[in-house]
Chain A
Amino acid sequence: MTETLLDIRGISKSFGALKASDDVALDLKQGEIHALIGPNGAGKSTLIAQIAGSLRPDSGEVWLEGRNVTHKDTVARAKAGLGRTFQISSLAMEDTVLQNAVLGALGARHRVPGFWRPVMRDGDLRASAMQALEKVGLEEFAHFRTADLSHGQRRQLEVAVALTLKPHVFLMDEPMAGLGADGSAILVEFLRNLKSSAPILLVEHDMDAVFQLADRISVLVYGRIIATGAPDEIRANAQVREAYLGEEDAE
Chain B
Amino acid sequence: MQRETLINTVLTLGLLAVPLAAWAMDEPYTITLATKVVIFALAGVGLNLALGLGGLVSLGHAMFFGIGGYAAGILASHAQSYEPIMEWPFLIEGTQSMPVIWVMAIVVSALVALATGALSLRTSGVYFIMITLAFGQMFYYFTISWPAYGGEDGLSIYVRDRFPGLNTLDPLHFFGLCFALLMLGLFIVARISRSGFGLALNAARQNEARVRAVGIEPYRLRLIAFVISGAITGLAGALYADLNRFVSPVMFSWQTSGEIMIFVILGGVARLFGPVAGAALFIILEEVLGGVSDYWHIYLGALLLIVVLFARGGLIGVLAGRNGGGGHD
Measured in the bound complex, the distance between the Cα atoms of B214 and A125 in whole Å is 14
Per-residue A-contact encoding for B312-329, CB less than 8 Å = 1, 0 else: 000000000001011011
Interface residues on B, range: 20 to 34
Per-residue A-contact encoding for B208-230, CB less than 8 Å = 1, 0 else: 01111111110011000000000
Per-residue A-contact encoding for B245-287, CB less than 8 Å = 1, 0 else: 0000000000000000000000000000000000000000000
Assess whether A75 is in contact with B210, with CB atoms less than 8 Å apart.
no
> Nearest-CB distance from B312 to chain A (Å)?
12
Asked if A205 is at the interface of the complex by the 8 Å CB criterion, the answer is: no
| Contact among A75, A120, A145 with B212 in the assembled complex (CB-CB below 8 Å) | A75
| Contact among B192, B209, B214 with A108 in the assembled complex (CB-CB below 8 Å) | B214
Assess whether B214 is in contact with A102, with CB atoms less than 8 Å apart.
no
Residue tally, chain A, CB below 8 Å to B: 42
Asked if A90 is at the interface of the complex by the 8 Å CB criterion, the answer is: yes
Chain B residues with CB under 8 A of A115: 191-192, 195, 197
Chain B residues with CB under 8 A of A175: none
Chain B residues with CB under 8 A of A93: 206-207
Asked if A86 is at the interface of the complex by the 8 Å CB criterion, the answer is: yes
> Nearest-CB distance from B101 to chain A (Å)?
25
Asked if B202 is at the interface of the complex by the 8 Å CB criterion, the answer is: yes
Dominant secondary structure of chain A at its interface with chain B: mixed
Per-residue B-contact encoding for A198-226, CB less than 8 Å = 1, 0 else: 00000000000000000000000000000
> Nearest-CB distance from B249 to chain A (Å)?
34
**Contacts A74-B212, A78-B215 hold; do A92 and B206 have CB atoms under 8 A apart?**
yes
Assess whether A96 is in contact with B195, with CB atoms less than 8 Å apart.
no
Chain B residues with CB under 8 A of A62: none
Contact residues, A115-138 vs B (CB, 8 A): 115-122, 125
| Cβ-closest chain A residue relative to B214 | A107
> Nearest-CB distance from B214 to chain A (Å)?
3
